[in-house]
Amino acid sequence: MKIVLQRVKQASVTNDSVENKIKKGYCLLVGVGKTSTESDSAAIAKKIVNARLFEDAEGKLNLNLQQVNGEILSISQFTLYADVRKGNRPGFTQSMSPDRANELYEHFNDTLRSYGINVQTGEFGTDMLVDIANDGPVTIIYESQDGKII
Protein backbone atom coordinates (compact mmCIF):
# COMPACT_ATOMS: atom_id res chain seq x y z
CA MET A 1 0.00 0.00 0.00
CA LYS A 2 1.28 3.46 -0.90
CA ILE A 3 0.03 6.78 0.39
CA VAL A 4 1.02 10.31 -0.48
CA LEU A 5 0.19 12.61 2.44
CA GLN A 6 -0.04 16.36 2.01
CA ARG A 7 -0.59 18.63 4.98
CA VAL A 8 -3.31 21.08 4.01
CA LYS A 9 -5.04 24.20 5.26
CA GLN A 10 -8.12 22.91 3.42
CA ALA A 11 -8.98 20.40 0.73
CA SER A 12 -12.00 19.28 -1.26
CA VAL A 13 -13.03 16.62 -3.72
CA THR A 14 -15.96 16.86 -6.13
CA ASN A 15 -17.58 15.04 -9.02
CA ASP A 16 -21.16 14.56 -10.20
CA SER A 17 -22.21 12.72 -7.04
CA VAL A 18 -19.69 13.71 -4.32
CA GLU A 19 -18.71 16.98 -2.72
CA ASN A 20 -16.60 16.60 0.42
CA LYS A 21 -14.21 18.99 2.08
CA ILE A 22 -12.02 19.38 5.14
CA LYS A 23 -10.25 22.20 6.91
CA LYS A 24 -6.81 21.77 8.48
CA GLY A 25 -5.40 18.27 8.20
CA TYR A 26 -4.18 15.83 5.59
CA CYS A 27 -5.12 15.08 2.02
CA LEU A 28 -4.22 11.45 1.37
CA LEU A 29 -3.81 9.86 -2.05
CA VAL A 30 -4.28 6.15 -1.36
CA GLY A 31 -2.91 3.46 -3.66
CA VAL A 32 -3.68 -0.23 -3.16
CA GLY A 33 -1.27 -2.66 -4.79
CA LYS A 34 -1.70 -6.33 -5.72
CA THR A 35 -0.03 -7.51 -2.52
CA SER A 36 -1.60 -4.95 -0.13
CA THR A 37 -3.34 -6.35 2.97
CA GLU A 38 -5.46 -5.19 5.89
CA SER A 39 -2.28 -5.33 7.98
CA ASP A 40 -0.70 -2.81 5.62
CA SER A 41 -3.66 -0.46 5.87
CA ALA A 42 -3.67 -0.71 9.68
CA ALA A 43 0.09 -0.05 9.90
CA ILE A 44 -0.07 3.02 7.68
CA ALA A 45 -3.19 4.37 9.40
CA LYS A 46 -1.49 4.16 12.80
CA LYS A 47 1.66 5.80 11.45
CA ILE A 48 -0.29 8.67 9.86
CA VAL A 49 -2.46 9.36 12.91
CA ASN A 50 0.63 9.52 15.15
CA ALA A 51 2.88 11.43 12.72
CA ARG A 52 4.04 14.71 14.22
CA LEU A 53 3.67 16.95 11.18
CA PHE A 54 2.17 20.09 12.75
CA GLU A 55 4.15 22.87 14.36
CA ASP A 56 4.21 23.53 18.09
CA ALA A 57 4.64 26.98 19.71
CA GLU A 58 8.36 26.94 18.83
CA GLY A 59 7.71 26.13 15.16
CA LYS A 60 8.91 22.52 15.39
CA LEU A 61 6.99 19.62 13.89
CA ASN A 62 5.90 18.12 17.22
CA LEU A 63 2.10 17.85 17.05
CA ASN A 64 0.02 15.07 15.54
CA LEU A 65 -3.34 15.25 13.79
CA GLN A 66 -5.38 14.64 16.94
CA GLN A 67 -3.54 17.35 18.87
CA VAL A 68 -4.55 19.99 16.30
CA ASN A 69 -8.09 18.64 15.76
CA GLY A 70 -7.20 17.92 12.15
CA GLU A 71 -9.24 16.09 9.54
CA ILE A 72 -8.45 13.77 6.64
CA LEU A 73 -9.56 13.81 3.02
CA SER A 74 -8.81 10.32 1.68
CA ILE A 75 -8.84 9.81 -2.08
CA SER A 76 -8.30 6.50 -3.87
CA GLN A 77 -5.44 6.71 -6.36
CA PHE A 78 -4.63 3.50 -8.26
CA THR A 79 -2.12 5.40 -10.39
CA LEU A 80 0.37 5.36 -7.49
CA TYR A 81 1.22 1.85 -8.71
CA ALA A 82 1.98 2.95 -12.27
CA ASP A 83 4.86 1.15 -13.97
CA VAL A 84 6.67 3.66 -16.18
CA ARG A 85 9.76 1.61 -17.04
CA LYS A 86 8.72 0.79 -20.61
CA GLY A 87 7.33 3.09 -23.27
CA ASN A 88 5.46 6.30 -22.67
CA ARG A 89 2.15 4.97 -21.40
CA PRO A 90 2.13 3.74 -17.79
CA GLY A 91 1.03 0.21 -16.98
CA PHE A 92 -1.14 -0.54 -13.98
CA THR A 93 -0.68 -4.28 -13.55
CA GLN A 94 0.66 -3.77 -10.01
CA SER A 95 -2.60 -2.16 -8.85
CA MET A 96 -5.09 -4.42 -7.07
CA SER A 97 -8.35 -5.35 -8.81
CA PRO A 98 -11.01 -2.68 -8.20
CA ASP A 99 -13.37 -4.77 -6.01
CA ARG A 100 -10.69 -5.87 -3.55
CA ALA A 101 -8.91 -2.50 -3.71
CA ASN A 102 -12.12 -0.72 -2.70
CA GLU A 103 -12.50 -3.08 0.28
CA LEU A 104 -8.98 -2.28 1.48
CA TYR A 105 -9.45 1.44 0.84
CA GLU A 106 -12.62 1.39 2.97
CA HIS A 107 -10.84 -0.67 5.65
CA PHE A 108 -8.08 1.95 5.73
CA ASN A 109 -10.61 4.79 6.11
CA ASP A 110 -12.50 2.92 8.84
CA THR A 111 -9.23 2.34 10.69
CA LEU A 112 -8.48 6.08 10.56
CA ARG A 113 -11.98 6.80 11.89
CA SER A 114 -11.42 4.37 14.76
CA TYR A 115 -8.86 6.87 16.09
CA GLY A 116 -11.59 9.52 16.34
CA ILE A 117 -10.55 11.34 13.15
CA ASN A 118 -13.11 12.95 10.83
CA VAL A 119 -12.42 11.27 7.47
CA GLN A 120 -14.02 12.47 4.26
CA THR A 121 -13.56 10.58 1.01
CA GLY A 122 -13.85 10.82 -2.72
CA GLU A 123 -15.76 8.28 -4.77
CA PHE A 124 -13.77 5.13 -5.53
CA GLY A 125 -13.09 4.45 -9.20
CA THR A 126 -14.31 7.75 -10.62
CA ASP A 127 -12.75 10.91 -12.01
CA MET A 128 -12.74 13.63 -9.39
CA LEU A 129 -11.63 17.23 -9.06
CA VAL A 130 -9.28 17.53 -6.08
CA ASP A 131 -8.53 21.00 -4.75
CA ILE A 132 -5.98 21.48 -1.98
CA ALA A 133 -4.35 24.38 -0.20
CA ASN A 134 -1.02 22.76 0.66
CA ASP A 135 0.33 23.86 4.05
CA GLY A 136 4.09 24.10 4.15
CA PRO A 137 4.37 22.37 1.79
CA VAL A 138 4.66 19.17 3.78
CA THR A 139 4.42 16.06 1.60
CA ILE A 140 5.32 12.59 2.91
CA ILE A 141 5.14 9.20 1.15
CA TYR A 142 4.16 6.19 3.25
CA GLU A 143 4.47 2.61 2.07
CA SER A 144 3.73 -0.68 3.78
CA GLN A 145 4.39 -4.29 2.83
CA ASP A 146 3.65 -7.39 4.87
CA GLY A 147 2.13 -5.19 7.61
CA LYS A 148 5.35 -3.19 8.05
CA ILE A 149 6.23 0.36 7.07
CA ILE A 150 8.99 0.32 4.45
Active site residue 79: yes
53 CB contacts (<8 Å, ≥6 apart)? 5, 7, 26, 61, 63, 64, 65, 138, 140
Select which of 35, 66, 67, 79 is catalytic: 79
d(CA 37, CA 51): 21
Angle at which helices 38-50 and 98-113 cross, to 10° = 40
Active site residue 54: no
Select which of 6, 54, 77, 121 is catalytic: 77
Residue of 136, 138, 120, 117 lying closest to 128 (CA atoms): 120
Select which of 6, 54, 78, 121 is catalytic: 78
Catalytic residues: 77-79
